[in-house]
């Protein structure tokens, strides 16, 4: 099947009428570790009703033209290399916090923005709780011009999730809305990480955890069971493994 549609439509990013591509809402590289034993069905879990859903492929829609898909794909590939350890970074751990430096701020921040923006423009049921409103157009402009903004604009807090001592890489959770420091947030779980996107008109006060312009970030490492909205869900994830080990 061709990656391009057969008819011309308006690209969601550049707003030009072109043939659109099959655009992944969540980057394609995330799905390699969330398939069932047959290797054919992706396992995705709901944080709302704790149900499990099985898909033959990742979430995609006809959203972007080829040029814009290449643009977001570059950011996705960079983030994939960072998360898989293929980018040389300086790192140290202090207790439950991992400090990393050497990240390309623009590429990684634009990757973060593109994820929450793609979720907002998506029509699929899985992303229905991500509604950026007027921020959607602001982010679109930032992505189109390659402007990551300062670290206090639309920051994202990242937490590394651990289940029974191992990274929780095998779980993708339906995005949900939350509040943090009085600001609206959208919470995603993918790639073994909890991503909390802070969406507000205000410049958010700097706190440890934001990606900084100098390419530094501090990531908290926590047990996934410590998060109330994930507790029941993660217990269901762990249970099959425990049964199999008995």
Give the separation between CA 96 and CA 46, rounded to whole angstroms: 27
Contacts of 119 (CB under 8 A, 6+ apart): 25, 26, 127, 130, 175, 186, 188
51 CA to centre of own chain: 20
Residue 21 falls inside a structural domain? no
The mean-pLDDT minimum among 8-22, 32-46, 118-132, 219-233 falls in: 32-46
Average pLDDT over the chain reads 83
Give the separation between CA 80 and CA 28, rounded to whole angstroms: 9
Residue 112 falls inside a structural domain? yes
Residue 79 falls inside a structural domain? no
Q: Is the pLDDT of residue 146 over 60?
A: yes
Contacts of 73 (CB under 8 A, 6+ apart): none
What is the model's pLDDT at position 227?
78
Of residues 145 and 29, more confidence is placed in 145
pLDDT band at 244; cut points 50, 70, 90 = very low
Q: Are 129 and 176 in contact (CB under 8 A)?
A: yes
| Average pLDDT for 211-217 | 96
What is the model's pLDDT at position 181?
84
| Average pLDDT for 222-233 | 73
Residue 75 falls inside a structural domain? no
For the chain, percent of residues with pLDDT exceeding 70: 78
Residue 133 falls inside a structural domain? yes
Q: How many domains does the chain have?
A: 1
Domain containing residue 138: 38-60+89-245
For the chain, percent of residues with pLDDT exceeding 90: 55
Q: Which helix (H) or strand (E) holds 160?
A: strand 156-163
Distances 186 to 64, 73, 129, 194, 238 between C-alpha atoms, Å:
23, 22, 8, 10, 25
| Residue 174 CB neighbour total at 10 angstroms | 22
Distances 212 to 24, 103, 245 between C-alpha atoms, Å:
27, 9, 43
**Paired tokens of 245:** 């080990």
Q: Is the pLDDT of residue 40 over 80?
A: no
| Average pLDDT for 95-99 | 93
Residue 113 falls inside a structural domain? yes
What is the model's pLDDT at position 13?
98
The backbone torsions φ and ψ at residue 242, rounded to the nearest 5 degrees and listed phi first, read: -65, -40
- Of 110-119, 177-186, 206-215, 216-225, the range with the highest mean pLDDT is 110-119
pTM: 0.84
Q: Is the pLDDT of residue 84 over 90?
A: no
Residue 74 falls inside a structural domain? no
pLDDT band at 92; cut points 50, 70, 90 = very high
Residue 47 falls inside a structural domain? yes
């Amino acid at each position: 099947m061709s990656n391009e549609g057969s008819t011309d439509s308006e690209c969601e990013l550049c707003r030009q009428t072109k043939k659109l591509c099959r655009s992944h809402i969540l980057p394609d590289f995330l799905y390699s570790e969330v398939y069932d034993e047959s290797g054919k069905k992706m396992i995705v879990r709901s944080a709302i009703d704790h149900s499990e859903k099985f898909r033959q492929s990742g979430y995609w829609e006809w959203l972007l033209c080829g040029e814009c898909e290449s643009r977001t794909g570059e950011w996705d590939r960079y983030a994939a290399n960072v998360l898989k350890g293929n980018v040389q970074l300086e790192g140290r751990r202090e207790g439950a916090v991992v400090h990393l430096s050497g990240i390309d701020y623009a590429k990684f921040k634009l990757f973060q923005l593109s994820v929450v923006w793609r979720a907002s423009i998506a029509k699929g049921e899985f992303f229905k709780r991500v509604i950026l409103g007027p921020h959607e157009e602001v982010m679109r402009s930032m992505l189109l011009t390659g402007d990551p903004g300062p670290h206090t604009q639309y920051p994202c807090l990242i937490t590394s999730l651990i289940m029974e001592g191992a990274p929780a890489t095998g779980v993708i959770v339906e995005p949900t809305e939350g509040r943090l420091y009085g600001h609206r947030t959208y919470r995603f779980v993918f790639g073994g990480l909890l991503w909390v996107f802070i969406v507000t008109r205000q410049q958010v006060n700097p706190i440890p955890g934001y990606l900084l312009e100098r390419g530094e970030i501090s990531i908290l490492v926590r047990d996934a069971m410590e998060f109330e909205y994930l507790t029941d869900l993660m217990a269901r994830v762990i249970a099959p493994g425990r049964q199999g080990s008995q």
